[in-house]
A and B are shown apart, each in its own frame.
Chain A
Amino acid sequence: MSDVKLNSNVPEGKLQEKWDNHKFKSKLINPANKRKFNVIIVGTGLAGASAAATLAELGYNVDSFCIQDSPRRAHSIAAQGGVNAAKNYPNDGDSVWRLFYDTVKGGDYRSREANVYRLAQVANSIIDQCAAQGVPFAREYGGTLSNRSFGGAQVSRTFYARGQTGQQLLLGAYSAMMKEVHKGKVKVHTRQEMVDMVMVDGRARGIITRNIVTGEFEKHSADAVLLCTGGYGNVYFLSTNAMTSNGSAAWKAYKKGACFANPCFTQIHPTCIPVHGDNQSKLTLMSESLRNDGRVWVPKKEGDKRKPSEIPDEERDYYLERKYPSFGNLVPRDVASRNAKEAVDDGRGVGATGVAVYLDFRDAIKRDGEQAIRDRYDNLFQMYERITDEDPYQVPMRIYPAVHYTMGGLWVDYNLMTTTKGCFALGEANFSDHGANRLGASALMQGLADGYFVIPYTLGNYFSNEGLMTDKVGTDHPEFEKALSSSKERFNKLLNINGSKSVDSFHRELGNIMWEHVGMSRNESGLNQAIDKIKALRSEFWKDVKVTGTEDGINVELEKANRVADFLELGELMARDALKRKESCGGHFREESQTDENEAKRNDQDFCHVAAWEFTDVSSEPVRHVEELNYENVELTQRSYK
């Protein structure tokens, strides 16, 4: 089975010319013929909606699927801070090269140079496109676009729409898609969940979905399947992901031969509202942009239970400013998160639970006035107050890291195609551009880059190389029936276990294992334990889970059970990947690999590569393939934000 070759298909030539050369060399499909191709796009977030809109504009027939009641609900909507581009409007020395460099460095040198450079190249077009769609970006009084700075960069290159940039960009992509719905080029299937991918003659040719409203299974065929299904952060149970965000679609593709790359690379976001209790269902992120004006601190003394206002400045430890004088509070996310954990582990955490640090706006309010702060962050401050019942204009916010984004995902080549022919992965669902750590405001950039500007070129090339114009497969093909009945079987099985424990209780337990052992800091024995515990939990799940209701109609428990069953496998793969990567890099911190100052220590000698896992069988170990990362343009250095 193991004949997978990880051919990145990065084009020849100088870095700056690769994408242009590739576009020129890609085969085209004549406009009249484009309508003969059908494309399935799963997910309607930034990547999915932008791809659906653009491919439909070109003339392809698009079937778009989303789990929610409307494509506009996809979780891209929750991104707050902004979107990066190297427009250099503020005249502060930005360039495509610098954006590329910052992204590679921010990703701790574990991403593919050519992909990142392309991302930096098309980023400017994203801003143009979104502005043309009527996305209400923040403006200066003169009418030009406004920028702000973000973690991991020393220039202001982040475009934003108040604290709702993700929402506005998503609504832009959504409305572009709805324009094609109106023209009949996109058909949106809402409240549908992909439950399997269908392979015919070694190519992805369709999907099986379950209609969440009726419980019926449906077959959909196409010439290519695009998975734009986001990340798998919900494996941790508590994360900043939406409740229905899941890893199942990617997992089905993995089981059909698509390799899963760097699953252990998860991003723990430093500025989230801390956990408050057992009944909590999710964590809420406060935009990283807050770190522009907020100062992070903890008391110098351990177990200092005084109110924050009673702690004088000299007894406060502004640890980020102290340790990283040049970046200060704007260090990359992984660094900020790990330092918060360190402070809490030292017993210097704050709040009732002691598992939080302060993010204080006192000085910014003093400097710029409350109104200025209100203009910048009021919606975030209100959200914080609603959840915690504390007014951040008066008392410092309490924040703590939480799982937020997964850099890992389906392995894709330069064309965004997975190791399974015809199955593409876009946005957070793929692994490509962020390496071991994603910089703030880069997720929106990547999702839209993939959807608006990359896939339209590479998909046509695939169609024409494969000669898919005449080679058509319908849902009457036996493979569809086979996939459909195996999906039905799986759901029936879940319903018939009739055990004693709820789906959520398994999910919560999995989350605890993951957070404990595959969280912000990892070590060999913990990871080994995690693998064993997850295996045990998984077998208990299949014996003792209780799923109420029936297969017809809306059955939320059944939906959840299906997703948790996949998480129980994915969690194990994450632990395996973390175990094998015996170095610290970006969001992956191995306690065995740190500098004398407790900073993450990379091992470029042995691990400057992508680990892509190939599925064999649930009970046997997956195969680890390696794609070496060659840095021709960037010198690998130990990241330093001092």
Chain B
Amino acid sequence: MSNEKLLSLNLKIWRQKGNKEKGEMVDYRLEGVSTDSSFLEMLDLLNEQLVEKGDDPVAFDHDCREGICGMCSLMINGQAHGPEKETTTCQLHMRKFEDGDTIVIEPWRAKAFPVLKDLMVDRGALDDIMAAGGYVNVNTGNAPDANEILIGKESADLAMDAAACIGCAACVASCKNASAMLFTSAKISQLALLPQGQVEREQRVINMVEKMDELGFGNCTNEAECEASCPKGIDISNIARMNREYIKAITKTRS
């Protein structure tokens, strides 16, 4: 922390007024960026300067700035959430960059994620996938005592690994096919691993996959860029599990 330095940066940022308008890359020069500041604080600084000049600040999504809400996004130098492993953009710090660097900043790109403005995109498609089955159908008040459902530590831990997904969609952004399989499989895995999820296990995977396909996401080609870009380190074994769950579900005979 005491090794604070100031950086001068060249920024290339995607600017697009609205969903219907055409966008373009615009160059900015930014001086005096502290290496202790986060990537988003760097953008705050740029925006403060833009506002001072009376220009329209760059719109980007962000909220908690603790790496958990999943709202921040950004393709930084062609990588989702930037170069750091298992780090969201809001937790990426400028000490990872060098003085004089050029940084290219773009929005997530996918047919299912229309750009709203500049770097903001609409990720509502992920909510649609969740609504298709990412839950246990249990109404409030129906629950048995929590300790009546015994869950082995290993299953609980694996389910937690999958449940750690923050829904930021870096998996979609980094996938060369804009596939949402890692996101979808994480939820399917979590519930398939837990006894609570068993009753709706088959229908869930069918419905969620169907919805995912319908929304225009691409197909997985097993390149694992999603896993590599995931700020929460969600494993592609979840995708394998979903593949397995799906084939089991569609071949299962119903009595």
Contacts and interface: CB of A to CB of B under 8 A. Distances in A.
In the complex, A touching B, CB below 8 Å?
yes
A78 B66 contact: yes
Contacts of B91: 383, 386-387
B117 A75 contact: no
A639 interface: no
Given A213-B116, A281-B40, 17 more contacts: A75-B69, A77-B69, A87-B146, A136-B156, A136-B163, A139-B151, A167-B68, A167-B164, A178-B131, A279-B37, A281-B38, A285-B66, A389-B95, A546-B51, A548-B55, A553-B18, A557-B51
A77 B64 contact: yes
Interface stretch (A98-106, A122-130, A310-318, A407-415): A122-130
8 contacts: A68-B69, A71-B127, A73-B71, A78-B66, A171-B163, A181-B127, A548-B54, A553-B18
A453 interface: yes
Interface string B121-156: 011101100111111111111111111011111001
Given A132-B136, A548-B55, A502 B70 contact: no
Interface in A521-562: 546, 548-549, 553-554, 556-557
A388 B95 CA distance: 10
A175 interface: yes
B243 interface: no
Contacts of A554: 18, 59, 116-117, 120
Given A70-B126, A138-B156, A78 B41 contact: no
Interface in B13-63: 17-18, 34, 36-38, 40-41, 44-45, 48, 50-52, 54-57, 59, 61-63
B107 interface: no
A143 B195 CA distance: 11
A129 B145 CA distance: 9
B123 A70 contact: yes
A179 B135 contact: yes
Given A78-B66, A134-B194, A553-B18, A140 B116 contact: no
B1 A389 contact: yes
B61 to A, nearest CB: 6
Contacts of A139: 151-153, 156
A548 B140 contact: no
Interface in A286-313: none
Given A87-B146, A556-B59, A386 B135 contact: no
Contacts of B41: 279-281
Interface in A108-162: 125, 127-145, 161-162
Contact of A73 (B36, B70, B164): B70
A78 B48 CA distance: 27
Q: Which of A69, A240, A383 has the most chain B CB atoms inside 10 A of its CB? A: A69
A242 B64 contact: yes
A54 to B, nearest CB: 4
A42 B21 CA distance: 31
A191 to B, nearest CB: 8
Contacts of B66: 78, 240, 282, 284-285, 383
Question: 6 smallest A-B Cβ distances: which pairs?
Answer: A143-B150, A132-B143, A175-B135, A131-B146, A128-B143, A136-B160
Contacts of A54: 139-140
A70 B37 contact: no
Given A387-B91, A388-B1, A502-B52, A143 B153 contact: yes
B2 interface: yes
A456 interface: yes
B8 interface: no
A548 B50 CA distance: 9
Contacts of A453: 140
Contacts of B146: 87, 127-128, 130-132, 137, 145
Interface in A43-100: 50, 53-54, 57, 68-75, 77-78, 87, 89
B150 to A, nearest CB: 3
B4 to A, nearest CB: 7
Interface residues of A, number: 86
A386 B66 CA distance: 11
B16 to A, nearest CB: 11
Given A134-B196, A387-B93, A388-B1, A128 B65 contact: no
B164 to A, nearest CB: 6
Contacts of A351: 1
B13 to A, nearest CB: 15
B234 interface: no
A243 interface: yes
A394 interface: no
Interface string A244-271: 1000000000000000000000000000
B39 to A, nearest CB: 11
B80 interface: no
Contacts of B120: 69, 554
Contact of A69 (B38, B122, B156): B122
A276 interface: yes
A190 interface: yes
B222 interface: no
Given A139-B151, A548-B56, A164 B164 contact: yes
Interface string B208-238: 0000000000000000000000000000000
Interface in A474-507: 502, 504
Nearest to B167: A72
Contact of A75 (B63, B116, B196): B63
A553 B117 contact: yes
A403 to B, nearest CB: 15
Interface in A162-184: 162, 164, 166-168, 171, 174-176, 178-179, 181-182
A452 interface: yes
Contacts of B135: 133-134, 175-176, 178-179
A383 B67 contact: yes
B147 A145 contact: yes
A69 B123 contact: yes
A57 B139 CA distance: 7
B59 A282 contact: no
A276 B65 contact: no
A31 interface: no
A190 to B, nearest CB: 7
A390 B140 CA distance: 44
A78 B153 contact: no
Nearest to A174: B130
Contact of A128 (B18, B70, B127, B145): B145
A167 B166 contact: yes
A386 B37 CA distance: 11
B132 A182 contact: yes
B79 interface: no
A176 B135 CA distance: 6
B87 to A, nearest CB: 6
Contacts of A436: none
